[in-house]
Amino acid sequence: MGQLKGRVMGVDFGTRHIGIALSDESRILATGYETVNWNGTDPEWALNRICDIIKEMNVIALVFGKPSRTDGTKSETECKAEVFAGQLQERCAIAPVFRDERFTTVIASQYLHECNINAKKQKKVIDQVAAEIILQEYLDSIKRN
């Protein structure tokens, strides 16, 4: 990723909601961007929407949360995330990086609760905040290396 200009997108994949976060152009700070709501059976709309964001926001890298089970074994959602990420790669020519996302939704919920965000509002943004956590951990890790 070195000298290329552009943003990194964090993706919290879910079978009904996909949280999207974007880095700033300097790739230092992650910010929640959008929750893509979909029915989980036909990914076309979700893929098109995410590709549009990639183009509009000059995204050069994708970081997908890897939704493993808490014991680290592969979950059904993880398999679906891998398929979806592969379809996104085919459309947008950006190979995704996968990061462990266990407990990000719990952390996001705690954070939103501490910020006095009510449950109804949390439901609308929790996937974005989870994507933000996944992306920020990734950005921090590449700064360390």
pLDDT score, position 51 = 97
Q: Does 59 map to a domain? A: yes
The predicted-structure confidence for 83-134, as pLDDT tens digits, reads as follows 999 999 999 999 999 987 766 676 666 666 676 677 677 677 778 888 999 9
Q: Does 1 map to a domain? A: no
pLDDT score, position 108 = 64
Q: Does 102 map to a domain? A: yes
What residues does 30 pair with on adjacent strands?
23
Structurally, how many domains does the chain consist of? 1
- Higher pLDDT pick, 143 / 22: 22
Q: Is the pLDDT of residue 142 over 90?
A: no
* Domain interval for residue 63: 7-144
- Higher pLDDT pick, 10 / 16: 10
Burial annotation 28-62 (CB, 10 A radius, 16+ → b, else e): eebebbbbbebeeeebeebbebbeebbeebebbbb
Q: Does 2 map to a domain? A: no
The predicted-structure confidence for 27-65, as pLDDT tens digits, reads as follows 999 999 999 998 877 789 999 999 999 999 999 999 998
Q: Is the pLDDT of residue 66 over 70?
A: yes
Read off the CATH number of the domain in which 29 is found. Answer: 3.30.420.140
